[in-house]
Amino acid sequence: MTSISNRLQVILSAIQAAKRPEHAAQSVQLLAVSKAQSATAIREAYAAGQRHFGENYLQEALDKQAQLSDLAITWHFIGPIQSNKTQLIAQHFDWVHGIDRPKIAMRLNDARAKHSKPLQVCVQVNISQEPSKSGVLVADLEALVATIARLPHLQLRGLMAIPAPSQNINIQTQQFKQVRECYDNLLAKAYALDTLSMGMSDDYPIAIQQGATIVRIGSALFGARK
Ligand SMILES: *Cc1c(COP(=O)(O)O)cnc(C)c1O
């Protein structure tokens, strides 16, 4: 077995082990974050069974997609989105995790091919309320969600968050719980969401305990980025 394949098995087991009994029936999907990793490394993970891959940088992603066009990969764009990149993102990805303002949502909607399946999207929430961070502030979340829900070529799946880094398990837990509460509030308002994208290499078990349905894992799977 290759090391990527070994690490994949370890992570998949850890994902199962982190689930709480009340989430037993809910699937938690591994999104392999392949930014700064080679097409060869992606092929290796694919050969081991991984199908969902996440990229942050458009040009890098397009280059690798061209080299991997023989594989049935589901591509997720997880980086910050500049408005001049929306056309290519809408054309070349299945999912987008980082929508944080109406303008980006509308541009992605307009650029999505009308005959394609709607683009699957998550709204990024700025849970730490740091102005420097990307993501919509909690106070503006519902208005953005309502806008996206009206756009025919986007399918709103849920929320994404990147909490402020912390070594303190209580702080990590608290931050994921806040994202979860935003998600539950929207469900209570009858938005049909099924995705909570949170948790990375260093904190994914804690995110799963708080209800994550997608964990985005890079270095724990592929090794350190070059
Ligand atoms: C890089 C990145 C990840 C993965 O980070 P690791 O710590 O390597 O697991 C997850 N989500 C986003 C948005 C990222 O940019």
Q: What is the pLDDT of residues 112-129, one digit of tens each?
A: 999 999 999 999 999 987
Q: Which atom of ligand 1 is nearest to the CA of 56?
A: 15
* Average pLDDT estimate for 85-102: 98
Q: Which protein residue has the closest C-alpha to ligand 1 atom 11?
A: 216
Q: What is the pLDDT of residues 134-153, one digit of tens each?
A: 899 999 999 999 999 999 99
> CB–CB of 152/164 below 8 Å?
no
pLDDT at residue 20, as a whole number:
87
Q: How far apart are CA 34 and CA 155, in angstroms?
A: 24
Sequence ranges of the domains in the chain: 3-10+27-222
Least confident residue range of 82-96, 131-145, 185-199: 131-145
Regarding the beta carbon of 78 and ligand 1, being less than 6 Å apart is answered yes
* CATH class belonging to 3-10+27-222: alpha beta
88 CA from centroid of ligand 1 (Å): 21
Q: Which atom of ligand 1 is nearest to the CA of 204?
A: 9
Q: How far apart are CA 60 and CA 63, in angstroms?
A: 5
Q: What is the pLDDT of residues 178-190, one digit of tens each?
A: 999 999 999 999 9
Amino acid at site 56: N
Statement: residue 111 has pLDDT above 90: yes
pLDDT at residue 21, as a whole number:
84
Comparing 2 with 146, the larger pLDDT belongs to 146
pLDDT at residue 131, as a whole number:
74
Q: How far apart are CA 200 and CA 195, in angstroms?
A: 15
| Per-residue tokens: 49 | 């069974």
User: What does pLDDT average to over the chain?
Assistant: 95
* Average pLDDT estimate for 155-159: 98
pLDDT at residue 225, as a whole number:
87
Q: What is the pLDDT of residues 5-50, one digit of tens each?
A: 999 999 999 999 999 888 777 899 999 999 999 999 999 999 999 9
pLDDT at residue 2, as a whole number:
63
Q: What is the pLDDT of residues 198-214, one digit of tens each?
A: 999 999 999 999 999 99
Beta bridge partners of 33: 54
pLDDT at residue 37, as a whole number:
97
Statement: residue 1 has pLDDT above 70: no
For 83, which DSSP code? G
Beta bridge partners of 178: none
Statement: residue 132 has pLDDT above 80: no
| Per-residue tokens: 106 | 């509308």
Regarding the beta carbon of 216 and ligand 1, being less than 6 Å apart is answered yes
Q: Which atom of ligand 1 is nearest to the CA of 201?
A: 9
Statement: residue 133 has pLDDT above 70: yes
34 CA from centroid of ligand 1 (Å): 9
